């Protein structure tokens, strides 16, 4: 399936959750078996030879393809969660959002120095969430960190500000106003 075909099925919600945001509703892909398989298979092809041992999915839309990808790659799945959701001892990282601050948490034993880690979220927008996740994962000092997204909103130029040494890839690069 081509990018064009996938984009035909992607629902865009203008001004959600606030005015000015063109919200890409990836649930419109996840509910379609052919689209879900296409996304999982394409991501698997991108990472099958990279020696990934852990996939870290960012709450919450990053859990869906993140978990499928982990299973296909023969890797473990680790959730990167919002505050107060994880039951065991945690490491956490506060980061700045457009308005105020937020926090991400991971279990202290979720990554080891021998791991090759793939961080996954559905969409890369300003990059605040993904970069905070990279910093949090880097505290575990794994062998390597990569980050992948289904969609990258290229007009927001988040990719160039990732920490050095982190390989960033996305399946579909698009302008947030494309295809409206």
Catalytic (active-site) positions: 61, 98
Shortest distance in whole angstroms from residue 22 CB to ligand AMP: 6
CA 48 to chain centre: 17
For residue 39, give both structure tokens.
Answer: 């996304």
Nearer to ligand AMP, 117 or 158 (CB): 158
Of all helices (H) and strands (E), which one includes residue 68?
A: helix 62-73
C-beta separation of 117 from 147 below 8 A = no
Nearer to ligand AMP, 53 or 153 (CB): 153
List the one residue from 70, 78, 80, 125 that touches ligand AMP (CB under 6 A). Answer: 125
C-beta separation of 140 from 113 below 8 A = yes
Residues 19-58, one symbol each (x = binds ligand AMP by CB under 6 A, - = not), give --xxxx---------------------------------x
Distance (Å, whole) CA 163 – CA 147? 11
Question: What residue ranges bind ligand AMP (CB under 6 A)?
Answer: 21-24, 58, 61, 121-130, 158, 176
């Amino acid at each position: 399936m081509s990018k064009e075909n996938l984009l035909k099925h992607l629902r865009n919600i203008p001004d959600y959750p606030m005015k000015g945001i063109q919200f890409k509703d990836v649930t419109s892909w996840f509910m379609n078996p052919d689209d879900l398989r296409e996304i999982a298979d394409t991501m698997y092809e991108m990472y099958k030879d990279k020696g990934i041992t852990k996939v870290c999915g960012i709450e919450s839309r990053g859990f869906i393809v993140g978990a499928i990808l982990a299973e296909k790659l023969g890797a473990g799945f680790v959730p990167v969660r919002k505050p107060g959701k994880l039951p065991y001892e945690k490491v956490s990282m506060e980061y700045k959002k457009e308005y105020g601050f937020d926090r991400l948490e991971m279990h202290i034993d979720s990554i080891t120095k021998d791991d090759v880690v793939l961080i996954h979220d559905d969409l890369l927008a300003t990059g605040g969430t993904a970069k905070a996740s990279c910093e949090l994962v880097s505290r575990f000092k794994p062998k390597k960190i990569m980050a992948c997204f289904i969609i990258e909103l290229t007009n927001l130029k988040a990719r160039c500000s990732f920490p050095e040494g982190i390989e960033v890839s996305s399946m579909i690069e698009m302008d947030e106003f494309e295809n409206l």
